[in-house]
Amino acid sequence: MYTLTIEREFAAAHALREYDGKCSRVHGHNYRVEVSVSGELDGSGMVLDFSLFKRVCGEVLDELDHRMLNETPPFDQQNPTCELICKHIYGRLAEQLRPSGVRVRRVRVWETPTSSATYEPTPEGP
């Protein structure tokens, strides 16, 4: 089993609901996202073409980039916490990459250079 990892970025604003602190007010982040996928090698010796991996990840992150997350599905219905952002990105990538035969292993999102959350599904699934 091989694992590939890429990093991407997006910028967005949010306000945490049901939170007593500064983050309950609208503020923004330059999010950094690390995504790892795993799979077996194909006939050309690759798990997944990095250009395809980056393109698909970019398309998913474009749905969040330069948005007010509280107004952007699914965060118009759920709190736009770093943890839930990780899980959302994971779900969208798993959906998009399923035809390629790779498995999304982990999504890590940094809100700041020193604060991140990671989503890894349990072996039974998300």
Average pLDDT over residues 81-87: 98
Number of C-beta neighbours around residue 29 at 10 A: 18
Specify whether 111 is catalytic: yes
Question: Which conformational region is residue 45 in: left (phi greater than 0), alpha (psi within -120 to 50 degrees), or beta?
Answer: left
> Residues 27, 59, 63, 66: which is the catalytic one?
66
Specify whether 63 is catalytic: no
Prediction pTM value? 0.94
**pLDDT the model gives residue 126:** 55
What fold characterizes domain 2-113? Tetrahydropterin Synthase; Chain A (3.30.479)
In the structure, what pLDDT confidence band is assigned to residue 122 with cuts at 50, 70 and 90? confident
**pLDDT the model gives residue 108:** 98
Average pLDDT over residues 102-116: 97
Where are the alpha helices (H) located in 1-126, listed in sequence order? 50-62, 82-97
Number of C-beta neighbours around residue 19 at 10 A: 12
**Distance of alpha carbon 72 from alpha carbon 30, whole angstroms:** 17
**Residues found in the chain:** 126
Specify whether 83 is catalytic: no
